[in-house]
Structure 1
């Protein structure tokens, strides 16, 4: 078989990954935030219980994101800045709270089991392996580096770089342009149906649901990131 024939027979040209909930275990993020908030109370001598302070943090950050219009990008770091101020009762310089925040994240975050192995295995195939994620650009790349896979990806498309969030088609179109691959020969692995799976399908990609709800946009459903290898290798039917 010639190289051209092999490329024609191969079903997929690219696999794109979301980060949160697919590569990054979200429970470990919640653990990191709880540790940071507890440390903040000690360092600033705030008269509040860790539970109440954490609730204030989550409510403030949640309200910040809910205020955005449509798919406009809002930096998580600004939401965290507001969360710190709400707990302390006044603004705290970023250079004061960000180092301990990064330490808490570094010590707590974990990858989703099987994600790193799946990414490394895909990189050995003749495929474009990319990221499409609604994260702050620096933070997303830092987390991938923390898990040892940043350089494994051929492209990283973040909402901060694009200025929009999924399911805005600009997110998927930007990633496809970087990869130089057609949408119909691309997979998108995500944990949110509307944003990741349906958004990808509407842009012409095939949605792979990992923890996402079922729906007509789901081309494949996997229970472990490692199962995407079966999809790529043609061992899984839609």
Structure 2
């Protein structure tokens, strides 16, 4: 009994190809190689499935200023390559310390050159947008950064009309240990610093700080708004994606 006859050629079968991507709105998140928090938190904080999130990683060396500035070329390359054949509505650069070291204007310009037409955000631009929308000028801040980075944060916000009236830091050197700071430690520090009467809100600054699960409890106990780098970033991504002009991609 003979076996089945061998088929030498693959049959070509027809298919239709959509003229536009299957998703309506899209965001590229450029995250640090050591940050194990940002991707899950931002994805969970984005409401529903209105925004498709595409993530790329860039190498992170340290929080030293020269290393933060050196991220410029990696950020531009990631923005250029991520889903390079399809459109992006928003590019989000996921590092607060790098955004302040490079400066939001320069950061947005280098991303826009790599990905024309995309709107750009980062954690500090997202925070400034929230502060402006709520007329907030005095904040309490918890960070994981060493003193030189904290000093840069204070200068940055002062230059944008925001006064830090209460502050505390875990003073970690950087790397993956920031992502491993216990949620209870973050909660304890946040409650103490956020209780400052002059502070109109509390900010947990750093995308690698685990914060999503403790934000509601903090807001209840402090009776004031509480934001994290990730919650601000997700909110701004949503706003920019909603504002993006998508008519050119819509199909009849």
> Normalising by structure 2, what TM-score?
0.33
Higher strand share: 2
> Normalising by structure 1, what TM-score?
0.35
- Highest Rg: 1 or 2? 2
Higher helix share: 1
